A and B are shown apart, each in its own frame.
Chain A
Amino acid sequence: MVDATLAAIAQPAQTDPEAALRARRQPLARRRYALEIRQHMGWRRQALVLAAALLAGLAISAAILVAAGVPANELANEFVMQTFFDGQNLRAVLFQAAPMVLVGLAGSLAFRARFWNLGLEGQMIWGAIGATAVSMWQIGPEPLRLPLMFAAAIGCGLLWVLGPAWLKIRLGVNEIISTLMLNYMAANFLLHLVYGSWKDPKDNFPYSPQFRAFERLPELGAGVSSAIALAAVVALFAWWLVGLSRAGLYLRFVDANPRVAHANGVPVRRTIYGAVLLSGAMAGLAGLAVAAGQEGRLTQAFYQGYGFSGILIAFLARNNPLAATVVALLVAALFVTGRSLQVFYQVPFSMVQLIQAIIVVCVAASDFFIRHRLRRVGAEAVQ
């Protein structure tokens, strides 16, 4: 017997204790449903529950969009056909998805070590600054330039999260605060750069000079940037790391119970450092993916929204790297669709955010059905 001791009855709470007592003393004729903790659910059924939640969220969103004036028969067309089967839109989705995948992976890796890295944006900014510095100062010969930018992005993202990681592990400083605050420092430093010494001398706009052709992520062909390939490689790496390597096992123990992990010889600190620093590095790469893959320069607001998206993606994917990749693609598709809805049906962009929120709430609620089971209790139980 396991001592999962919480279980409640899904009967509406009766506020009046006297009435409740009376009601209970009488033999109950009506059906009762018992809500119990479910110990275990197979992953297939879990996936099914998740898919059902996703569908429910989409259905509610569709209803809202129809209410907002989008013709119902156009919805499927807009959502599915236009997004995934139209070449240009599909490219737009992949274009949008690359940094999303990277921040989603960054989030899920840190969260697996119970480290709430809310500094994804700050690390992203530093990743982009690092890459841009290599370009600005023309470090290294041409063929090595892009690899050096990669190294700089990884290094800078990693260093930006090193402080909070150290503070948390050594001194117990809450990482939620420290990483969040460091975002503001990074953002303001970015403004300092693009309004100051790194301003493009050509037109005096607040962004860095354009990267040269060899400093940008090359195209894979058909208008698809190699940024998505980078994201795929990182996703595979993360999948291998958490699923197939020894560090992944350590990480599962740190996630499940750090004290048990420590007592069983898991190098808890090193595991946390490793996961968190990799998270920072991935966020740094996301910065590079935007700067060298999308914008071709360092701009002042490129990072906005990615921090939230990363957390969202990690949450929806339950910190599973492959799921994070799929979810990031869906979120990117939602953005692209939202933008076209905005253009064609004058739907405000906040509607897109609303849809995002509805889907998140549905998936979060589905957790309940994974952890609990509703079962009818036989009438003889209460005679």
Chain B
Amino acid sequence: MPNALQLTGIRKSFDGFAALTDAHFEARWGEVHALLGENGAGKSSLMNIAAGLYAPEAGQLLVDDNLVHFAGPRDAARHRIGMVHQHFKLVRPFTVAQNILLTAPAPAEFQSHGERLREISRDIRNKASELGFEIDPSKRIDALSIAEQQRVEILKVLLAGARILILDEPTAVLTDQEAARLLQTVRGLARGGSAVVLVTHKMADVKTYADRVTVMRGGRTVATLEPGATSVAELVKLTVGESVATQGFEPAKSPRGPVRLTVRGLRSAASPEGRRVLDGVDLELHAGEIYGLAGVGGNGQGELAGAIMGLPDAGGPLEGEIHLSGHGDLKAMPAPERRNVGIATIPADRYGLALAGSLSVAENYAIGRVHTGRYGPAWHLRRRRIQDDTQEAVRAFDVLGVRSVAQKAALLSGGNAQKLVLAREFGKAPSLVLAHSPSRGLDVRASAEVHARLRAARDGGAAVLLISEDLDEVLQLADRVGVMTRGRIAGEFAQPADRQAIGQAMVDHG
């Protein structure tokens, strides 16, 4: 098979930090080529160069064995390269069709905007059913779940004419079934002649779906292999440089305590069509247990998390109750107060809810405790103490890439940003932990650390609600598993749970 895309000797640094030192990569037409590596290994940077977003400092980029130079994503698109980013690039208040129209090639002859929109909507529907899912082109992006938004992204690059498709951590947000379907779809695209680059750190995906795999570590390409001829242990070793034992389910060390959180009949306001995003959620969460809430994205998980966090836009007024033992109804409790009663939150959207990227690491750390008076009275911020505390927390939680606590939080890689969130939320022993997709986009090692922290919180007596679309994660961590479909808990399973039964409950819309 001829080469579709080749990158050789790529070098790239950001603000003096070398993200890529000597990276090589090639993908052939008709193959699914996985790009494997830890967080910060340089996978995304390398692919951003292929997609025309970054210009390399050194090295060459070839498409179809011709040297090319991209002045931007538009040039990459002209060479039929399309990338689906881990953090989606969609205009949230626009509809699906409008978003796709933005990048779609101009029509051959004049069309009115209305005609064009109708045509693109038709194309969207056709392409979607070709790929095996349904999508409403007139829906606004902010009304879609993360999994649905990803489909829009894929449609967007395909309808823009991409034949070299780069997917950055595409399965991070999907359930097993969804991920399997997505990967089968992209395999189909590859069999149809396209080249697919799968940026991932999931060994299972690589083993099952990739024709070849390139492993990156520390900004360099380590090896390119055939996954069929390589063991998972070997891949893990190449990725992390050492063996990391994969953890199985570990039950709580002590029996669970009394009920800490009771959710009863929680319903959100009905949409004009009469649909409720939360439609009678009943849930009991005990102290000293991890309750794993599995389910396909967009079944109300985000809204449930928002309701517990006390976000103002959790879908209008809620009916029912969220009772925190000893503190009454959470719905009436203002968000600042929730922190006082020991609720720790790890939201799914790291830079949308957890961290202010433009502020410093120290400020992001201090915001969690400043109201307690630890950093001085209201009229005086003890900045020295904030710095010291942050430095200590950064060390204790092994947040890497912090040159100074005054640096912007946005400079941290995904895994380290999440560790900073954990450092802040777990600084004081919490009584209730809400973790929503806490290891989304994290590598093996960072995920393991996040999981260890959640277990430690449970063993320290906290009630942990783990909402995750990653069934592996739920099964590894949870003492009890609930499945959320259509805004309610469709089933509960005791551990050890039957994976098949849970998967079935996720897709049963009964």
User: Which residues of chain A have a CB within 8 Å of any CB of chain B?
Assistant: 1-9, 11, 13, 17, 20-21, 24-25, 27-28, 34, 36, 38-40, 244-249, 252-253, 256-257, 259-267, 377-378, 380-383
Contacts and interface: CB of A to CB of B under 8 A. Distances in A.
Nearest to B55: A34
Interface residues of B, number: 69
Interface string B318-334: 00000000000000001
A259 B411 CA distance: 20
B370 A259 contact: no
B485 interface: no
Given A5-B53, A246-B380, A265-B336, 6 more contacts: A1-B42, A5-B85, A27-B67, A246-B370, A247-B378, A267-B334
Nearest to B352: A259
B471 interface: no
B305 to A, nearest CB: 10
Interface in B95-142: none
Question: Taking each of A17, A40, A261, A377, which has the highest tally of chain B beta carbons within 10 Å of its own beta carbon?
Answer: A40
A265 B44 contact: no
Given A39-B410, A245-B378, A246-B376, A264 B368 contact: yes
Contacts of B311: 259, 262-263
B258 interface: no
Given A252-B363, A262-B311, A1 B345 contact: no
A337 to B, nearest CB: 37
Contacts of B379: 245-246
B355 A249 contact: no
B69 A1 contact: no
Given A38-B15, A39-B15, A249-B367, A2 B410 contact: yes
B376 to A, nearest CB: 7
Interface in B335-377: 335-340, 345, 347, 351-359, 363, 366-368, 370-371, 375-377
Interface in B47-80: 48, 53-60, 66-72, 75, 78
B15 A40 contact: yes
B477 interface: no
Contact of B356 (A11, A248, A257): A257
Contact of B367 (A27, A39, A265, A378): A265
Contact of A383 (B40, B60, B309): B60
B367 A264 contact: yes
A4 B336 contact: no
A266 to B, nearest CB: 7
7 contacts: A1-B14, A2-B410, A5-B54, A245-B380, A260-B356, A264-B367, A382-B69
Contacts of A252: 356, 359, 363
B71 A3 contact: no
Contact of A1 (B44, B71, B89): B44
B237 interface: no
Could you tell me the dominant secondary structure of chain B's interface residues? Answer: loop
Contacts of B339: 264-265
A109 to B, nearest CB: 17
Contacts of B85: 3, 5
B6 interface: no
A40 B57 contact: no
Contact of A21 (B45, B78, B337, B412): B78
The 7 closest A-B CB pairs, nearest first, are: A256-B356, A265-B336, A265-B339, A9-B71, A34-B55, A263-B353, A39-B15
Contacts of B376: 246
B55 A3 contact: no
Contacts of B312: 262
A260 B55 contact: no
Contacts of A7: 53-55
B476 interface: no
Contacts of A377: 55-57
A39 B412 CA distance: 11
A380 B89 CA distance: 31
B352 A3 contact: no
B263 interface: no
B436 to A, nearest CB: 11
Given A9-B55, A263-B354, A381-B59, A253 B67 contact: no
Contacts of A265: 335-340, 367-368, 371
A40 B352 CA distance: 20
Nearest to A262: B335
Contacts of B412: 2
B145 interface: no
Contacts of B407: 40
A339 to B, nearest CB: 41
B495 to A, nearest CB: 30
A252 B380 CA distance: 15
Contacts of B359: 252-253, 256
Contacts of B355: 260
Nearest to B312: A262
Contacts of B370: 246, 249
Nearest to B59: A381
B71 A13 contact: yes
B58 A378 contact: yes
Contacts of A8: 71-72
Nearest to B69: A24
A244 B381 contact: yes
Contact of A39 (B14, B87, B338): B14
B19 interface: yes
Contact of B363 (A249, A378, A380, A381): A249
Contacts of A382: 60, 67, 69
Contacts of A13: 71
Contacts of A256: 356-359
A378 B60 CA distance: 12
Given A2-B411, A40-B407, A259-B311, A381 B57 contact: yes
A350 B258 CA distance: 75
A271 to B, nearest CB: 11
A261 B378 CA distance: 17
Contact of A381 (B56, B338, B408): B56
B86 interface: yes
Contacts of B351: 257, 260
A1 B19 contact: yes
Contacts of B371: 246, 265
A259 B376 CA distance: 25
Nearest to B371: A265
Contacts of B378: 245-247
B23 to A, nearest CB: 12
Nearest to A23: B69
Contacts of A1: 14, 19, 40, 42, 44-45, 413
A261 B15 contact: no
Contacts of B75: 20, 24
A246 B15 contact: no
Contacts of B89: 5
A282 to B, nearest CB: 18
Question: Taking each of B54, B70, B375, which has the highest tally of chain A beta carbons within 10 Å of its own beta carbon?
Answer: B54
Interface string B197-212: 0000000000000000
B53 A6 contact: yes
Contacts of A17: 78
Contacts of A6: 53
Contact of B381 (A21, A25, A27, A246): A246
Contacts of B78: 17, 21
A242 to B, nearest CB: 11
Contacts of B335: 262-263, 265
A260 B71 contact: no
A380 B58 contact: yes
A213 B355 CA distance: 55
A252 B357 CA distance: 12
Contact of A245 (B334, B347, B381): B381
A261 B364 CA distance: 10
